Structure 1
Amino acid sequence: MTHDSAQGDRTQGAAAGSGTAAPRLTTAEVAERLGVKPETVYAYVSRGQLASRRAPGGRGSTFDAAEVDALARRTARREPSPSAPGDLVFRTGITLITPDRYFFRGVDATEIARRHTYEEVAEWLWTGELRPGIRFVAAPEPLAAARRTAATLPPHSSSTDRLRAAVAAAASADPLRFDLSPAGVLTSARSLIPTLVGALPAVGEPDDTEVASLAAALWPKLSARPADSASLAVLDAALVLLADHDLAASTLAARVAASTHAHPYAVVSAGLGVLEGPLHGAASGQAHRMLREVVDRGSAAPVVADHLRTGRRVPGLGHRLYTGEDPRAGVLFALLAEMPEAAPVISAARDVVATTARHSALHANVDLALAVLSVACGMPAETGETVFAVSRTAGWIAHAMEEYAEQPLRMRPSGQYTGPRPPQPLPAPETPVPGT
């Protein structure tokens, strides 16, 4: 089902009291009234500048005529769009970060994580509409291609290696990947995320039974033990909490790719490429290994001392955007407390924070919370990176949809040249070494 339909009929509001609500406008009518493309109407919804309502029967979305007219008056008074070549100011209606909280489309992200599934929140990020119970289903051909390709990689390949291979293979199997209309991008996105999960090998015995959520499908790719409701609640919340975090490095790369009108699979590939950096998505693996050592040694003091002695930062602590504890970590620690097996690992994590606090006021971040989950459930050290990659795909797609509505190729900064001043003589060829 598509989010918008440019062909829908104008719908009449239901009777309210003794009167009848004003007629609502279709996407096509809004585009005509504002003098923009239907894709731009969708961008206005994405930024929170227009509210949409699903039409009866699910035939696209409708809009309040008065709100559309108010937007038209505001945009008419504006200066020309600042989206000029070289402009690196990003207008976004997806995520707002404050010193102690963050919000998805104006809604507290920690609250929505406690009440909704990853798929529901991904849909909220993409469309501004909440669709309870929505499930994402992988298209058969891209899924088969992704599984075949990922299976050819060497056994030592990381999960990110497999995800990068899977997204490239899935793209090659989707001839409609170049459809950048909102409906086309949404169709690709709803299939791509479960395709990525489906391409990962199972840790234990594969289970082909139907699962109730993306978190339930991902769990056996991370742990050999069966998942209970408390474990799935933590994993689902982690997927929601990591879905977007404004213009992090991988998201910036995704927007640059989208600015060239690269298709959604290429956008996700760009994000995954940056995620391979040890300072971004892989940080939770370092926290996992540290916590494992703290649990084994029974105290954080010698482990923290080893890190400081060798000049290494203590992983899982501090975040440049938050003055206190990362709000994502707070939610996950609360949910992890419902898992008895996590108790000793939570204690180890708190010990790390308290020990480090003697020297610097650093608080737990989401990487430390992900490490508690992976250590407590016997998962591999790269679990946090896997969860991060799958989850953040939703955010990359949301930012791509915003970027598709902007002026193409607007991100063209100029380099500050520091090489030899021209003109320089042509380089002389090297003299061959005799006998070579």
Structure 2
Amino acid sequence: MSAHGHPGGGTPVGGEVRVSADERDHLVMRALVAAVVAMVVLAGCGSSSGGSGGSAGATATTTATAAANDVSSTAAASTPAAAGDTLGVGGVSSVTTITNVLRSFTPSKRFESSPAAIAADGSAVVARFRVADPDHPLRLSQTRLYLTDVRDQDAANTLIPLGGARRKPTQLIGVSMNDNWVVWMETPSTSATVQPWTMYAYNRATRTTTRLTSSRKIKGVPALVAPGYTGPSLHGGMVIWAEVAKGGAAPRVDIVGCHLADCRRRTLIRGAAYPAVTSNAIYAVTAPGYRGIAGRKGHRDFHNVAIEAYKFGTDRVVRVRTPALPGSTTIIGLAAHGGTLAWTINGRRPQLVIDTGDNKPTTITGDKGGGFSYPVVTARTVVWAESSGDSPANVGGYLYRLQEHDVYSLGNKSGLYGVDAAGDYVSWQDAGLNNTTSINRVGRLR
């Protein structure tokens, strides 16, 4: 959930999500909401088919199969592949073979701490909340945030002020940070479909917290949760997010933003979801279904997608990719860094497509019946989480090195958790002893 977005965004932290029968009727935003709900077993921070699924016009595809996910694996990493080769990773080794673990956050009997955002300079925002009461799993405790330095095990922690009293305890939806600011959303809701939120900004220089804005209401009712990464993303002194802007049987989703000094909403990309922010653009997924267009019998089209970019400084929105998706699948996650884009696709076997702009996209395929969550892209890596279709215990995440073209196992925690990366740093979660403890780790790539 750093400035470039986070794979676990859009899912609260510090509580669990419930879906009533009535709420299921409102999951019209996308079939992919089910993938998010199925992964919500919140013990940690929720920071986000066959065929290539590559971009149209691609001339070659590198394919890897993400099948094993054993964090204790000692198998050697797969032989690096050139573009166009097939990369098999049936026994990938742990990311700990290429990283130095700097910090580990082990829960106590009362509290759990989890990195919510990391930055390229080694600073991090950590979320702290009470361990869920098994007798009252939907009872929230107030999530608190603090700043720390992951490079120093004994680093001092700076508690971030709440910025005002809360009528009810809230849990975290998403966090973004840069050198000057920390911005986050929080909600008192435990619903998967309606999460009225409030956004706050912490000024790292003045150490003060300001309330920025709240979620939109449509005809006096809180809007549905926007699909994909709904948390904030920072670009300098500006914050960007996705929200449902029009209700009805065919809701419209927009990418909006505001300046931190004067947070007045401004629509940046209409009919789009999954914002991914880089230094010069906002990338997003567009489709007729996101534009609020309903076809015959109310059918909404999320298959015919495009990736568009809002260019900072020009106010222009341009189409940059038209992915050819297999079957009736759709894109369920997008990330970007520099000229590299990465997107996840749902289906019988989930896919992650990595496009560096050289017309040779890499496609990584997961377990049958599994699901990939929102990816994160840095200059060196792509990281993402996975829920396995084979076994509840066979879950975790992966790290792909862009230059070396190899894949490593990243954690083994059962249920949804946050994986993140920034610069040379990466964070993940291990299940701990007997898959009962959530140990959050931060490492630095060698």
Whichever of the two has the greater Rg, that structure is 1
Provide TM-score, normalisation by structure 1. 0.22
Q: Which has the higher contact order (CA 8 A, sep 6+)?
A: 2
Which has more strand, going by share of residues? 2
| Structure 2 length-normalised TM | 0.21
Query: Normalized per residue, which structure has more helix?
Result: 1
